[in-house]
Structure 1
């Protein structure tokens, strides 16, 4: 079962304790978390929650994946799946799927446990091949 809106809200509020100046930018996300819908479902529009991971190696290099559709260089990430019990689990699964790095090969930093490094709200182009609007 994917994370609930209330657990995602708790994560967002923890993030906002560290970054109070971002509350206005995240107002739409907070409003979406109050709606009676599954905010993790890719079919929930006008938007839904996805997860990414920042993977940094011992030489301080950051892993980026070239997105096939856009050509953009992005950190590994994507949609939350029904089997993802937490946001962190979703991010770790995406790293494994996109980069082939198993979760057991990664370690979470103490500083970021319980709070995301960043929360971003942005538009996505339509994907007609999947029937997904912008």
Structure 2
């Protein structure tokens, strides 16, 4: 069953209860959710759509990053929601496995919801007929002891285990550092 607007709203509301300072930066998500409804998980919803990502943390304080082929940027593993994803967490785990070969049984979920939700602009892609649009990335924290990665070469060109303090985006950096210490 596809992810519903209700699931996204409940996840967002629970997140904002824990992180009220993120309310203003996530106002575009809330507004888009109000008008998009259940299409919020569709990659064809060009007002903006939910995506899911994985923050994969090792005991040595390193976080897995991947080099995204199309965007030519270093990112956390993640991507679009699929119709067979039941929850945002399921989508994050599926994307982690697809892009890195690291399976759900090789990771431990940390927390009840996303550690961070990021709203960012995706540039237009004329080759795919996609206008500029927003991604609302629900990022879940996982722990692992795995080091080996098998890249999905259609989307990912490289990977790196980076120390959490090299993450530059706040509040993601502070939250991951706190989790690494805890």
- For 1:121, which of 107, 119, 129 is the aligned residue? 119
In the alignment, which residue of structure 2 is the partner of 1:46?
47
Contact 1:37–1:44 at 8 Å: present in 2 too?
no
What SS does the corresponding residue of 1:83 show, helix, strand or coil?
A: coil
Higher relative strand content: 2
Distance in 1, matches of 2:46 and 2:129, equals: 13
Give 1:10 deviation, angstroms. Answer: 0.7
In the alignment, which residue of structure 2 is the partner of 1:70?
71
In the alignment, which residue of structure 2 is the partner of 1:8?
8
User: What TM-score, normalized by structure 2, do the two folds share?
Assistant: 0.69
Q: Where in structure 1 are there 5+ consecutive unaligned residues?
A: none
Give 1:83 deviation, angstroms. Answer: 0.4
What SS does the corresponding residue of 1:46 show, helix, strand or coil?
A: coil
In the alignment, which residue of structure 2 is the partner of 1:84?
85
Distance in 1, matches of 2:128 and 2:54, equals: 24
Distance in 1, matches of 2:95 and 2:13, equals: 24
Give 1:37 deviation, angstroms. Answer: 4.5
Aligned length: 131
What SS does the corresponding residue of 1:55 show, helix, strand or coil?
A: strand
User: Could you report, residue by residue, the CA deviation over 1:66-121 in whole angstroms, capped at 9, with x for unpaired residues?
Assistant: 01122211110000000000000000000001001011111112xx22x2111111
What SS does the corresponding residue of 2:64 show, helix, strand or coil?
A: coil
In the alignment, which residue of structure 2 is the partner of 1:28?
28
Distance in 2, matches of 1:19 and 1:57, equals: 24
- For 1:132, which of 112, 130, 147 is the aligned residue? 130
Contact 2:53–2:95 at 8 Å: present in 1 too?
yes
Which is worse superposed, 64-73 or 87-96?
64-73
Q: Where in structure 2 are there 5+ consecutive unaligned residues?
A: 133-182
What SS does the corresponding residue of 1:45 show, helix, strand or coil?
A: coil
Distance in 1, matches of 2:53 and 2:92, equals: 5
User: Could you report, residue by residue, the CA deviation over 1:31-81 in whole angstroms, capped at 9, with x for unpaired residues?
Assistant: 222224410000002210001010011222100000112221111000000
